[in-house]
Amino acid sequence: MSDVRKRHLSESPELADVQEKKRLREDNSQTTDAIQTDLDAISDEATTMTPITTAADTATTPQPSAQKDDQHTSQPSQAPHSPQPSSVPPRKVAFTPDTQSTPPQPQSQSQSQRGQPQDSPEPSKPRLVITKMVLNNFKSYAGRQVIGPFHKSFSAIVGPNGSGKSNVIDSLLFVFGYRANKMRQGKLSELIHNSAKHPNCDSCSVEIHFQEIIDGDTPAAFDRVPNSKLVISRFAYRNNSSKYYINDKTSSFTEVTTLLRKRGIDLDHKRFLILQGEVESIALMKPKAKDENDDGLLEYLEDIIGTSKYKEPIEGANERLEALNEERMEKLNRVRYVGREKDNLEDKKHEAETYLENENELARQKNELYQIFLYEANENIKTATKAIEELKLKLKEEQENHKGIENEINEMNKTHSDALDEYQVLSAKTDKIYKKHAKFEKEDVQIKERKTHLETKMEKAKTSMETDREARNKARDAIKTNGDDLTKRKKDIKELEKQLKSEEKKLEEINAELKGKTDGFRAEIEEHQKELAPWTAKINEKKRAIDVKVSEREILAEKISSGEKAVQNAEEQVKKVEDMRKLKRKEIKAVPKDLENLRKAIADLEMELGGVTEKETTLRSKVVTARQKADEARASMQQKQSQGKILDSLLRMRDSGRIKGPHGQPRRH
């Protein structure tokens, strides 16, 4: 298959779609295999988890006090779903002191698949065990009672009914933080020992001694881990309160439970401690729960083994597997559909390949033909290049012949340009002078109008000043007359005041002499005051008239002063206007002379410019003639080139057999 065909197939969108679907199918298969591998590993891990086998060892409990409380004879508590027994069997309670409830690690998948045995067993890890218990006034145990030491793997407490076996388990529950009702009592104070010999105990306590050990090679051998002792104790008091201690240090319920969980004691599921009656309820469990809210033996065992935590991941993986299977089936159906479409397109593919092969052959033939045309074109280019070189030599000779004429034209252009520049400068000066002359004339008219206005204003000011002077003189006369009258009136007032004072003195004397007989004199006084009233009014009227005349005199004086200043300013402005007018007249007289000189200079330049223009016209005609000759030479050369191309094309067509002729040997120009 040719390269073009391969490239066409690789660029086909249908084939690319098929390849993409194949890749998706492979990815889907890999994902499904990975999920199946995870499920197999989880199943192997669940099947390899087995319960811990222990060796039996026995330990006897110390004899409790002879006095027994009512709770010692109480029936054992029954777990939910357990039937009530017809007779009470001997109470036997078993517990594993190894409180490390971590399930055994599953066997690695690689080892289980290869089946290779281990060369040597893995070293044992430290684990936490209960070494002994110390009970003090707890339930049926009066005083301090030590239970232990316990075996590292299995211990059994046996005894008749009422001997206190269940109280040992209750002591564990007490330390682990259980409520009193879980220990078959109503409240914490009821856990304190109460008997005829010990009736007034204030508190009770339980100590559990832990120790980390490492198992040895034999079942009975072990080594103690140094500095790993742990003592957890709890005290209960009459007021129903309790306290926790860790290694004789005050602690709390949260700290104790947190520490126990860290050490591997499962306080959440409590499978390390099976209470009385729970064995029977376990035996009566259903094989498998009916729904999520029910419990069965399978769920119970899964909870103990620890495989229940894998339930949600397994369900999630199954859902994902189902989704991927659906997606896989969808992809497979699509691949099958695309495969059928691919089979249907095989004929079209062969047609396309044949078409591409024909196209490649056509392109190859065209390429060969274009190479021939290119070779002939290069030959024609060489011939035309030689002709162009010859024409360039002729053009160079013509340019050298016309070089002198061009120099003269350049000089004339330069002279013409200088004359134009000078003409423009003179024209600008002339325009400036004309504008200045018009400005002077306008200013002269304004000065004349201003002078006339100032003269009129000065005449009005003089007239006003004369009027003000007359008014001032009249005011002065009136002031003088009123001043004399005022002086006279003041004298009359003084005399009348003297008379008034004398009359008042007389009146006071008369009042002093007569006091109660003053009615007649008062009438006289009133008459005298009435006589004086017109004179007082006249005096006040004259004072007001004098004040008015004084203010009028001051106003007239100010007007006269301002009028004199205005006249003085007007005279100064008239003088300045006269001086400026004389200066402008001198400048106006000098303008015609400058204007005449400029006109003469402009006329000379125009004459000179006319001569230069004639020379320029002559030279331009010569240049145009030379350019026409050059254009004719170029056109002749191009015509020869086009005729050569046409002739070459005709010869190629003749040689290829497309046309007959031209006959004979072609002639090159």
Work out the average pLDDT over 63-70.
Answer: 39
The residue among 298, 303, 272 whose CA lies nearest residue 285 is 298
Q: Which CATH class is domain 54-73+90-101+124-274?
A: alpha beta
Predicted confidence at residue 521, as pLDDT, reads 58
Predicted confidence at residue 22, as pLDDT, reads 61
Question: Which residue is it, tokens 């309820």?
Answer: 281
Encode 532-597 in three state secondary structure: HHHHHHHHHHHHHHHHHHHHHHHHHHHHHHHHHHHHHHHHHHHHHHHHHHHHHHHHHHHHHHHHHH
Q: Which amino acid is at 466?
A: E
At 373, is the pLDDT very low, low, confident or very high (cuts 50, 70, 90)?
confident
Predicted confidence at residue 246, as pLDDT, reads 94
Buried b (16+ CB within 10 A) or exposed e, 31-46: ebeebeeebeebeebb
Predicted confidence at residue 106, as pLDDT, reads 38
Backbone angles phi, psi at 251, to 5 degrees: -140, -165
At 666, is the pLDDT very low, low, confident or very high (cuts 50, 70, 90)?
very low
> Which token pair is 361?
């052959």
> Which token pair is 430?
């002339």
Rounded Cα distance, 338 and 22, in Å: 11
Predicted confidence at residue 29, as pLDDT, reads 60
Question: Which residue is it, tokens 């094309």?
Answer: 649
Rounded Cα distance, 363 and 308, in Å: 74
Is the alpha carbon torsion for 632, 633, 634, 637 positive or negative?
positive
For residue 232, give every residue at least 6 positions away whose Cβ sits within 8 Å of its Cβ, in sequence order, or none.
175, 207, 208, 210, 244, 245, 246, 256, 259, 260
Work out the average pLDDT over 183-188.
Answer: 84
Q: CA torsion angle for 422, 427, 432, 438 (degrees, to 10)?
A: 160
At 514, is the pLDDT very low, low, confident or very high (cuts 50, 70, 90)?
low
Work out the average pLDDT over 417-442.
Answer: 77
Rounded Cα distance, 176 and 623, in Å: 125
Work out the average pLDDT over 584-609.
Answer: 73
Q: Which residues pair with 211 in a beta bridge?
A: 129
Burial class (CB in 10 A: 0-12, 13-18, 19+), 139: buried
Does residue 188 surpass a pLDDT of 70? yes
Does residue 324 surpass a pLDDT of 90? yes
Does residue 85 surpass a pLDDT of 60? no
> Mean pLDDT score of the chain, rounded to an integer?
73
Buried b (16+ CB within 10 A) or exposed e, 459-488: eebeebbeebeebbeebeebbeebeeebee
Q: Beta strand pairing status for 58-59 and 155-157?
A: parallel
Predicted confidence at residue 524, as pLDDT, reads 67
Cα–Cα distances (Å) from 445 to 106, 433, 449, 484, 579, in that order, read: 127, 18, 6, 58, 15
Does residue 1 surpass a pLDDT of 60? no
Distance of CA 426 to the CA centre of its chain: 70
> Which token pair is 554?
């001051």
Predicted confidence at residue 19, as pLDDT, reads 60
Question: Which residue is it, tokens 């046996």?
Answer: 158
Predicted confidence at residue 81, as pLDDT, reads 35
Q: Which amino acid is at 608?
A: E
Does residue 80 surpass a pLDDT of 60? no
At 522, is the pLDDT very low, low, confident or very high (cuts 50, 70, 90)?
low
Q: Which helix (H) or strand (E) holds 250?
A: strand 249-251
Q: Which amino acid is at 456?
A: T
Does residue 36 surpass a pLDDT of 50? yes
Output 259 or 74, whichever has higher pLDDT: 259
Output 165 or 437, whichever has higher pLDDT: 165
Q: Beta strand pairing status for 155-157 and 222-224?
A: unpaired
Rounded Cα distance, 131 and 229, in Å: 10
Question: Which residue is it, tokens 């402005």?
Answer: 573
Work out the average pLDDT over 219-226.
Answer: 88
Output 580 or 212, whichever has higher pLDDT: 212
Predicted confidence at residue 146, as pLDDT, reads 93
Does residue 323 surpass a pLDDT of 90? yes
The residue among 335, 324, 314 whose CA lies nearest residue 32 is 324
Rounded Cα distance, 581 and 338, in Å: 112
- Residues 389 and 38: beta-carbon distance below 8 Å: no
Is the alpha carbon torsion for 288, 289, 295, 301 positive or negative?
positive
pTM, full prediction: 0.34
Burial class (CB in 10 A: 0-12, 13-18, 19+), 395: middle
Output 344 or 134, whichever has higher pLDDT: 134
- Residues 622 and 406: beta-carbon distance below 8 Å: no
- Residues 153 and 215: beta-carbon distance below 8 Å: no
Does residue 98 surpass a pLDDT of 60? no
Per DSSP, 456 falls in state: H
Does residue 497 surpass a pLDDT of 50? yes
Does residue 83 surpass a pLDDT of 70? no
Does residue 102 surpass a pLDDT of 60? no
R_g of the chain computed on alpha carbons: 71
Does residue 541 surpass a pLDDT of 60? yes
Q: Strand, coil or helix: what is 123?
A: coil
Q: pLDDT per residue over 119-169, tens digit each?
A: 455 667 888 999 999 999 999 899 999 998 998 888 888 888 888 888 888
Percent with pLDDT over 90 in the chain: 14
How many residues make up the chain in this entry? 669
Work out the average pLDDT over 23-33.
Answer: 61
Output 242 or 115, whichever has higher pLDDT: 242
At 417, is the pLDDT very low, low, confident or very high (cuts 50, 70, 90)?
confident
For residue 180, give every residue at least 6 positions away whose Cβ sits within 8 Å of its Cβ, in sequence order, or none.
186, 187, 188, 190, 191
Find which of 21-30, 274-283, 289-298, 345-354 is predicted with most confidence, using mean pLDDT. Answer: 345-354
Output 243 or 218, whichever has higher pLDDT: 243
Rounded Cα distance, 471 and 478, in Å: 10
Predicted confidence at residue 145, as pLDDT, reads 92
Q: What secondary structure does DSSP assign to 141-208, as a single string?
A: EEEEEEE-PPPSS-EEE---TTSSHHHHHHHHHHHTT--GGGGT-SSGGGGB---SSS----EEEEEE
